[in-house]
Amino acid sequence: MLIVMHKEAGDRELDAVIKRIEAHGWEAKPIPGGERTAVGVLRNKGPLDPAMFLDLPGVRDVIPVSKPYKLVSREMRPENTVVRLGRGSDAVEIGGQQLVVMAGPCAVESENQALEIAHAVKEAGARLFRGGAFKPRSSPYSFQGLGLKGLEILAKVREETGLFIVTEATDHEVCDMVEDFTDIIQIGTRNMQNYRLLRRAGQAKKPVLLKRGMWATMDEFLMAAEYIMSEGNDQVMLCERGIRTFTTHSRNTLDANAIPYMRNESHLPIVVDPSHAAGRRDQVIPLARAAAAMGVDALMVEVHTHPEQALSDGPQSLYPEQFHELVTGLRNMNISV
Q: How far apart are the first and last CA of the chain?
A: 38
Question: Hey, CA dihedral for 166, 234, 237, 69, is it positive or negative?
Answer: positive
- Long-range contacts, 89-95 (Cβ 8 Å, 24+): 90/162, 92/127, 92/128, 92/164, 94/207, 94/237, 94/269, 94/271, 94/297, 94/298, 95/237, 95/268, 95/269, 95/297
Burial tier of 16 (Cβ tally within 10 Å: 0-12, 13-18, 19+): middle
The item of ligand PEP, Mn ion, none sharing an interface with residue 306, based on CB under 5 to 8 Å by kind, is none
Give the x-and-dash track for 225-244 against ligand PEP (CB under 6 A): ----------------x---
Q: Which is nearer to ligand PEP, 229 or 310 (CB)?
A: 310
Q: Assess 182 for contact with ligand PEP (CB under 6 A).
A: no
DSSP 8-class letter at 234? -
Largest Cα span, the chain: 68
The item of ligand PEP, Mn ion, none sharing an interface with residue 189, based on CB under 5 to 8 Å by kind, is ligand PEP
49: left (phi over 0), alpha (psi -120 to 50) or beta: beta
The item of Mn ion, ligand PEP, none sharing an interface with residue 241, based on CB under 5 to 8 Å by kind, is ligand PEP
Give the x-and-dash track for 186-225 against ligand PEP (CB under 6 A): --xxx--------------------x--------------
Binder to Mn ion among 234, 265, 297, 313 (CB under 5 A)? 313
Please, what is the minimum distance in Å from the beta carbon of residue 308 to ligand PEP?
A: 18
- Residues touching ligand PEP: how many (CB under 6 A)? 9
Binder to ligand PEP among 58, 132, 145, 202 (CB under 6 A)? 132
The item of ligand PEP, Mn ion, none sharing an interface with residue 188, based on CB under 5 to 8 Å by kind, is ligand PEP
- Residue type (1 letter), 256: A
Chain positions 93 to 152 lying near Mn ion, rule: CB under 5 A, are 106
Residues in the site for Mn ion, rule: CB under 5 A? 106, 313
